[in-house]
Amino acid sequence: MVDFGYAPLEIKIHDLDKANLTLGEWIAERDETFKHCIACGSCTATCTAGKFTAFSFREMCHSIRRGELMEAITESEKCMLCGKCILACPRNVNTRNIVKLVRKANQNFRV
């Protein structure tokens, strides 16, 4: 960064040059519906767990796509696996399976 009057807020910036996108690739290899999300929010709107905690499946997926793996893993632990979001998704994303894959990834290779 050149010398400039303001310090960049590193923590707020998505730096896709450095981001770790491997979790997203690992999930998509096992369930390609991960790639089909259009971020409409139907899953979060209908979420049973989301009524009681700040869980958002859409945000979890987005964190993965931006390489924020710890956020995604923390988020995945809030899901009750009820599967209601599968019924709401207009792109047939296999939401429940993707939450399970995030949890599995966490156990397998400790991202």
Partner 1 sequence: MGKEVAIIGGGVAGLEAANQLATLGYNVIIFEKKGQPGGNAAKWDRLFPNRRHTSEVVNSLKSRLNGNPSIMLSTAISSVTKSGNRFVLATKGKNFEADAILLATGFELFPAEKKEEYGYGIYENVITSAELEEMFAKHGKPVMKNGSTPSKIAFIHCVGSRDEKVNKPYCSKVCCVTAVKQAIEVKEAIPAAEVYSLYMDLRMFGPGYEDLYKEAQQIGINFIRGRLSEASELDGGRVQIKTEDTLSSRPLKMSVDMVVLMVGMSPALGTIELISGLGLKPNKDGFVAVADYHLNPIGTGVEGVFVAGACSGPSNITDSVNAARSAAIEIHKYLSK
Alpha carbon distance 42, 82 (integer Å):
15
User: Could you tell me which residues come within 8 angstroms of residue 10 by beta carbon, excluding any fewer than 6 positions away?
Assistant: none
Measured from the CB atom, is 42 or 106 closer to partner 1? 42
Least gap, CB of 107 to partner 1 (angstroms)? 27
CA dist., res. 106 & res. 99, Å (int): 11
Q: Which of 24, 37, 44, 98 binds partner 1 (CB under 8 A)?
A: 44
- From the list 82, 83, 35, 40, the residue with the least C-alpha distance to 58 is 40
Q: What is d(CA 48, CA 53) in angstroms, rounded to the nearest whole number?
A: 9
| Residue 74 found at the interface with partner 1 (CB under 8 A) | no
Spatial distance between the Cα atoms of 48 and 85, rounded to a whole number of angstroms = 9
Query: Which residue in the set 37, 50, 69, 79 belongs to the binding site for partner 1 (CB under 8 A)?
Result: 50
Does 38 bind partner 1 (CB under 8 A)? Our answer is yes
Interaction of residue 45 with partner 1, rule CB under 8 A: yes
Out of 39, 70, 81, 82, name the contact with partner 1 by CB under 8 A.
Answer: 39
Binding residue for partner 1, selected from 27, 34, 37, 58, defined by CB under 8 A? 58
DSSP type of residue 39: -
Under the rule (CB under 8 A), what is the footprint of partner 1?
38-47, 50-51, 54, 56, 58-59, 87-92
